[in-house]
Structure 1
């Protein structure tokens, strides 16, 4: 289902701008966009609610088109601004795309007074120690003292304060011809926005990956600092909590045959780690001694002789590889073992009921890769290096 672009059309409700507003509304609607305009699809509302409803409509829109001529509009004392100005401020604060158009004769007059604005604002700061909340009083003082005022007194001074606010907030504005709606210029802006959107869509996977990586980095940092809290003078101060913290981040996942190819097939899944045992070999010893067990892992096997080649932890200790994988069909458990210098960790992963010895034999590499290539490997890697540096 299509989701058309919402374009808010903002201006003072003066007669000279009404034809342009309506023309823009109809043309944008004809282009399959969703134009939003007070007199066409927002109002009328009671005065007390109309301002808030207009601001809500700005928030709901994607693009904000602003038309400025010679009138400032209805000034609301409680807000310290006109409705049109408030609409612009909402759009600017919410980082909407703002496309302003200003009647050329008005903008020309503003640029003749621009330097005076800077002088008056600086004077205000020197006296009050801060920027003015509004430029309306400064604009009135400048405009009524300007040489062009007598022949252009039909232009409200508020307009110039509004324009100065636009400029100071970094908005470039286009000239407005009251006889023709600025549709062609708006099309140019929309075309450029679509081009930018196309570029962003092309790198959307990269953006999402960066977001994911940032989240993962924070998670890994918190995990690392927590584990380090359990280390003092080269020793683990609380083995049970140390293992429990590791177990909490050992997730499960799907086991895929020929992952990433057209032949990819799901052959089962392994559940999150349900228990961990940790063994250590001490100097001049021929046994691996159980330090701690967590989760459902039992502590029945307090030690293993290095001569016991039936033991998963012994096989891991004597092997040159850091990681090994074993399966015990009686318990429907995978045992993923980690060797880190004098330490051996054995992680228990339950598997789905349809997982069999035949699957383990035929797809052992795929099962091993499913565990090894999961997010949890990032944490296991840190644990391996940490234990490898302990006494």
Structure 2
């Protein structure tokens, strides 16, 4: 029996002084029955040729991000000098509703609370009053504040220099303190004690967050209910028009479905924090739809839309057929993505009883099959930004055409 364990991503800058801590924390968490992900142990796997991007993919796949902040920030991004990869991991975890447990070196968090927090809050408030919106990044505000201290508060400026902390750390700590539910301080040098402390914290956080996330889900659902009902009602009305004389008009049905599958873009998760994110891939609107039905040892074409020369039949054991693969993989409750490098085409397939539906999308550039596979969930999410119409269409299709 497979048991799902908590996946914990261990995040920090790559400074050498944190390496013993990271190794001990990894061992302690794994001994407690958790699964850990850490870059230097090869836990990333090979997804793309961009290790930063691979880290963020792994953050999305984890349940918890444990973050250690000491005095070194690590390298700032070449694409966006307002963030580091560790900060990008932190923000990716927050944006994907992961549990984030930041642990900040005690003297740094205490210094922040005593000397930095109030001034930085005031500087951010002034920015908001001037520009009528929140700053996208905290680091530019920190840099301006530190420059101001050089002239107007030389005593505080000297204290900041003496604590020997990279400037970016103050922005990072500020965002952790304001964006997370828990920000802990601990002497990171006390590695064995910190391991014990983290395990206790993790147990408490998981216990407390269970009830919170259940309520959070209910609240979110209630807030989105009106919008979802509106979209669903619109879909029901449009798809019901496809039933003519108690039969499903498939050409009209396919045309209606294609209108709910517009073109979308995929973004490099690292560029989520850039000033002007640039898509790494554009997915066209639905170009074609085909529908096949099993009859003994063959899948026969029922109807198609937008495809000039669809295949008429596939053998049920045809290992090269996306239709046959979809049918055999027991994927009634999910969509799957196949890719043809030759045609530069995505095929999103869905099993519906004895039917297999395939929706075709053109990619803006040539990707490898391996890269497409690593982005499968992102591609499906992008294609079906609002999935209620698709789900209703599938229910209608199965109910009308499956005997």
Q: Which has the higher contact order (CA 8 A, sep 6+)?
A: 2
TM-score (norm. length: structure 1): 0.49
TM-score (norm. length: structure 2): 0.47
Larger Rg: 1
